[in-house]
Amino acid sequence: MRILHTMLRVGDLDRSLAFYVDVLGMKLLRKSDYPSGEFTLAFVGYGEESETAVIELTHNWGKSSYTLGDAFGHVALGVDDIQATCARIRERGGKITREPGPMKHGTTVIAFVEDPDGYKIELIEKR
Residue 111 maps to which CATH number?
3.10.180.10
If asked whether residues 9 and 56 sit together in one domain, one would say yes
Contact 19, 94 (CB under 8 A): yes
pLDDT at 109: 97
Enzyme catalytic residues: 122
CB-based burial of residue 19 (10 Å sphere; 0-12 exposed, 13-18 middle, 19+ buried)? buried
Provide the whole-model pTM.
0.90
Report the number of distinct structural domains present in the chain: 2
pLDDT at 79: 97
User: Average pLDDT of each block of 10 consecutive residues along the chain (127 residues)?
Assistant: 94 98 98 97 97 97 92 93 98 97 94 97 94
pLDDT at 38: 97
If asked whether residues 81 and 44 sit together in one domain, one would say no
pLDDT at 69: 87
pLDDT at 71: 82
How far is Cα 71 from Cα 76, in angstroms, rounded to an integer? 16
pLDDT at 127: 81
If asked whether residues 79 and 47 sit together in one domain, one would say no
